Amino acid sequence: MKSFIPALFMTLILSTTAYAGFNGPSDARAVTTVQEAVEAGEMTTCVLEGNIIRHTERNRYLFQDKSGSMVVDIPPHVFALVDVTPQDHVRITGEIGGKKRPDVQDPHLRVRYIEKLS
């Protein structure tokens, strides 16, 4: 019985999902258009709304909004259970990467979260 209680306690702790974060105002300004994102510096946070219009290679896709298009890097785990087509309007959140090495021009958005809006 003594080993049952700790096992039950651990099972309850490990099976509960914890969601935590800050809910309130922020002074940080996220980039919201592709045009701004292309001009932004390394590690700039971007929240873009538009369409993923084409798969280019591996985890790379072409994303487009009203201001233009850019390459985004979306790992498979970010898609999770969301199926997206070119007709779906999505919101993607991530950081600009690939600008640290000017000899290898590969600016892109590293997507951390995707949300299907339509």
Going along the chain from its start, the domains and CATH numbers come out as 25-116 (2.40.50.200)
User: What pLDDT does residue 92 have?
Assistant: 95
Phi, psi (degrees; rounded to nearest 5) at 16: -85, 140
pLDDT above 70 as % of the chain: 69
* Stronger pLDDT, 47 or 9, i.e. the higher one: 47
Q: What's the count of helices (H) and strands (E) in the chain, helices before strands?
A: 3, 5
Q: Please name the amino acid found at residue 60.
A: R
Encode pLDDT of 53-106 as tens digits. Answer: 999 999 999 999 999 999 999 999 998 889 999 999 999 999 998 766 666 566
Residue 11: exposure state from Cβ atoms within 10 A (0-12, 13-18, ≥19): exposed
Residue 64: exposure state from Cβ atoms within 10 A (0-12, 13-18, ≥19): middle
Residue 83, both tokens: 């199926």
